A and B are shown apart, each in its own frame.
Chain A
């Protein structure tokens, strides 16, 4: 079984986690094109992705930086670091 070595709650089976996808910040005001980009488009290419994971047994949310090529978790991010005061969104270049 694959284990996830989480510095917060220790080694847990990866199957205990739900995957919530890339951490993204919604636009507060936007035209339809920006909305469409936010709703549908994703960083598809391999690389380090900042993602939300939910640990079912403890009911805790985590934010990991994970390399989507090697499946290695390179960093555990404090959820407070990715919260946002004012929603903002720009179509990435």
Chain B
């Protein structure tokens, strides 16, 4: 790589190949249409082509690749969930993430940091112990640590929180990582494109055509397409898609906001999360502190930012890191989270033949990018729900068979 970089630097013309194709006209028919060109959609297209030989695929994206929640999350990857179903699923994802850069021949800046989820109360500590036991049983590195261990790893944190709700302990998850989110989407997109998948940006789906209980095509603002299968992988826009089909789901949309500070010298090599203070923070490879909180309090289909968010976040962050009082916030933004009642995703087949759903990604979607692409591709290729995502089926709500993941998914990114 360095040699290639040197040659690149010395050349007068930079004829690097395009990552993505120029826009082409839509074909009248595709075998599979994927709605949503974020990480999940691109990963699904990639695995459909790579592992199942299905390349007659169009990915339709209303904006640009990775411009939705893929580019708006805080990039944390971890698997220390609460339910065995969740732990198995997210662990598969972490393992896929670790090999992704090699698969893509692209640096995704995957950086294993170690992940502390702080407990400020007895009940939080009890949930941490529960999670640690479930995690260990599934073979995940996860343990409850005391104040001394936290102080050693994160010496610049005020464990007493200035006297307000002192930290009592934490759940430590060594494989907790961060990655460059855009690169993940781009890597999957390039891999899918090189294998024959068509990627259409600025193409909005306006309707889904059905015949009886079967999907036969989609209408877009660039014309109609017929197809055999449609996969909706649109996270925050899911209710707009499902309402085209009259499909009822428990998904509600809440904005999730995040921000970054000005860049400073690297000092924080761990990820710190506090469920009680509703904040999480890590330092990016550019030196910015990437910070987030819980979702906004009411339903809203918008990516607007609010001052209330930064104000509330700063208040909580200063309890943990008093020295941040002199740091400036550089950017803030929001994404639309598709929240489910049990904080687990909704994946797999639906009552409509040929329509597959990959949704309910709330505030926990980025870390599942590889595994959801892989399991959804398998599900679509075999028209049978993959065993890893069977617990996340849409019909679990009608069966009262939920996957209670709130204790590990709400603020704990």
Contacts and interface: CB of A to CB of B under 8 A. Distances in A.
A9 interface: no
A33 interface: yes
A68 B251 CA distance: 14
The range of chain A's interface size is 20 to 34
B397 A40 contact: yes
A69 interface: yes
Given A33-B398, A68-B299, A69-B301, A42 B307 contact: no
A71 B239 contact: no
Interface residues of B, number: 28
Interface string B331-346: 0000000100100000
A49 interface: yes
Contacts of B398: 32-33, 36-37
A41 interface: yes
Interface in A61-83: 66, 68-71
Contacts of A91: 248
Contacts of B240: 45-46
Interface in A18-74: 18-19, 21, 32-33, 36-37, 39-42, 44-46, 49, 51, 66, 68-71
B13 interface: no
Contacts of B246: 93
A42 B251 contact: yes
A92 B240 CA distance: 16
Contacts of B138: none
A41 B248 contact: yes
B306 interface: yes
A55 B95 CA distance: 47
Nearest to B253: A44
A85 B275 CA distance: 41
Contact of B308 (A2, A33, A39, A92): A2
3 closest Cβ pairs, A-B complex: A44-B239, A46-B301, A40-B250
Interface of A: 1-2, 14-15, 18-19, 21, 32-33, 36-37, 39-42, 44-46, 49, 51, 66, 68-71, 91-93
6 contacts: A1-B307, A14-B308, A19-B297, A19-B298, A66-B298, A69-B301
Given A36-B399, A40-B397, A51-B298, 5 more contacts: A21-B299, A36-B398, A46-B239, A46-B253, A68-B300
